[in-house]
Chain A
Amino acid sequence: MNFLEKLLALDRRIIFLFIAIAVALPLFFTVKLHIEVTPVVRNLHNAMEALPPGSKVLVSLDYDPGSMPELQPMAESFFRYCFMRDLKIIIIGLWPNGPIQANSALEVILNEPDIKKKNPKYGIDYVNLGYTAGNEVVIERMGSDIPVTFPKDYSGNKTEDLPLMKGVKNFNNIDFVYNLSAGYPGTVEWVLFGVDPYKIKLGAGNTAVQAPQIYPYLNSGQLVGLLGGMKGGAEFEIATGKPAKAVKFMFSQSVSHALICFFILIGNFAYFATRKKKGA
């Protein structure tokens, strides 16, 4: 077996080792990378910039810890942006883990010095209404009555008693909806059952693997903007002027993408070289 044939039959554990190094090692370095803000992210940021302070923003966290590396930085940067701009946050989850993921992000953001100065209060500046089972039907029901769909917040307080929820009956009283999605139910359901019947203004953050599925909704104008994967999250952080986790993680993603491309290229080189040899 010559070198090329050995290369073709490379033990997958060697690939695993290279990937582990490519992912883990860059996390220990802080490298300033050039990250351009693409139009799909710029549009989402512009739509949010247009909201006056005090606007009510509904955030639906539809993911679990499996998608946390990509979506949690998006949740954190979004909450940070809302608090800095005095936007009121209403959190829900179509996935059972969503509301607790929100808590996790809030725990980080509320301890940042800039946000501490603002001193956001639960019930006045943000609420977490928790999870209701029912997938897309939850979105449908919110269109007619949000307090009926979420009668209590996730701590057990009556939704109608929360100061932030006074006067919030349905989507007519919500200025912007932001969805973080890792699958079903998620952005597709928000477009079908929220945007089309109730004309809500929707922005979304998706895992990189799901983002391509969402592009048709961007071009049709049903979605104002999209953060696709960690790159989208990093672009949003750059757009808001607060580079954070996603920007930091981009170095790791850059190196691992480059390594996978390198493996694909040498795999193809070895494949064609051995085929040529066999043909000859």
Chain B
Amino acid sequence: MRREVPLAITAIVGFALIIVYFIPHPPFNHSRDFFEDLFFIIAAFAIWLGCLNLLKVNADKVYLKKKGWPFSIVVWFGFFLMVIVGFWEGRGFMNPGTTFYYLYDKLYYPLNATMFSILAFFVASASYRAFRARNKEATILLIAALFVMLGRVPFGYYLSSWLPEGWRLGNITDWIMDFPQTAAQRAIMIGIALGIVSSSLRVLLGLERTFASGE
């Protein structure tokens, strides 16, 4: 029963959602709304679960003195600081002029942006080391990357403005993006979609059971 009940719920809900997607008329659309409202409730609980999990993982790190445990104290401090300030300010706590907004704007905002901007340095370093024309495929990739990188910035225009219209870096970049790139993306998307359909069917038909057994 511990296995069959979750499998039955999955199959019933899964097929019901497929039916309501393809028949968006009464009474099916009402059941879709019902399922979606249930999903919102689960999603809201998932946020709580995520917060509690974050606190637990970091508490364990501090308790066991694992590598980098002082950062976990910063996580706890930051978490409770934002929660307390948010609750203290009540309605409209995210409005400009509030303490929460100030903390977000002056602390979280630059910290988060800095983390992401570090990527630029690693990308540059990795490009220098790894982007080598070692074989035919790598050479094609390298040339396309150079065209796109220069063609996507005004610098590319100045480099190639002497060429006839259609042969400038910007035009070549547009062509690469519109045709070879889009073709490859389509192939990937179709492959992923077919994979999702087949694995979803396996779950709904009960052929794939690992999600219910924890194996």
- Chain A residues with CB under 8 Å of chain B are 10, 12, 15-16, 18-20, 23, 33-36, 38-39, 64-69, 99-100, 103-104, 107, 132-135, 137-138, 140-141, 144-145, 148, 154-156, 197, 208, 212-213, 215-216, 219, 229, 231, 250-251, 253-261, 263-265, 267-268, 271-272
Contacts and interface: CB of A to CB of B under 8 A. Distances in A.
Nearest to B46: A133
A68 B109 contact: yes
14 contacts: A23-B120, A34-B158, A36-B157, A65-B110, A104-B109, A156-B91, A215-B177, A216-B182, A231-B152, A253-B153, A258-B153, A258-B155, A260-B127, A267-B128
A213 B185 CA distance: 6
Given A133-B47, A219-B178, A66 B115 contact: yes
A263 B127 contact: yes
A141 B32 CA distance: 9
B43 interface: yes
B131 A264 contact: yes
A247 B27 CA distance: 52
A67 B185 contact: no
Contacts of B132: 267-268, 271
Contacts of A219: 178, 182
Nearest to A152: B91
Contact of A19 (B24, B121, B155, B157): B121
A259 B124 contact: yes
Nearest to A100: B94
Q: Is the interface of B mostly helix, strand, loop or mixed?
A: helix
Contacts of B10: none
B69 interface: no
Contact of A261 (B33, B149, B186): B149
Contacts of B128: 10, 15, 260, 263-264, 267
Interface stretch (B1-9, B100-108, B201-209): B100-108
Interface string B156-186: 0110010000000010001001100110011
B152 A257 contact: yes
Given A64-B112, A260-B124, A103 B101 contact: yes
A68 B132 CA distance: 32
Q: Is the interface of A mostly helix, strand, loop or mixed?
A: helix
B113 A66 contact: yes
Given A68-B113, A231-B152, A267-B131, 12 more contacts: A23-B120, A65-B108, A100-B94, A133-B40, A134-B40, A145-B33, A197-B21, A229-B152, A254-B155, A257-B150, A258-B155, A259-B124
The CB with the most chain B CB atoms within 10 A, among A33, A215, A253, A264, is that of A264
A258 B158 CA distance: 12
Nearest to B170: A36
Given A137-B36, A156-B91, A263-B128, A268 B142 contact: yes
Contact of A216 (B39, B96, B185): B185
A212 B94 contact: no
Contacts of B67: none
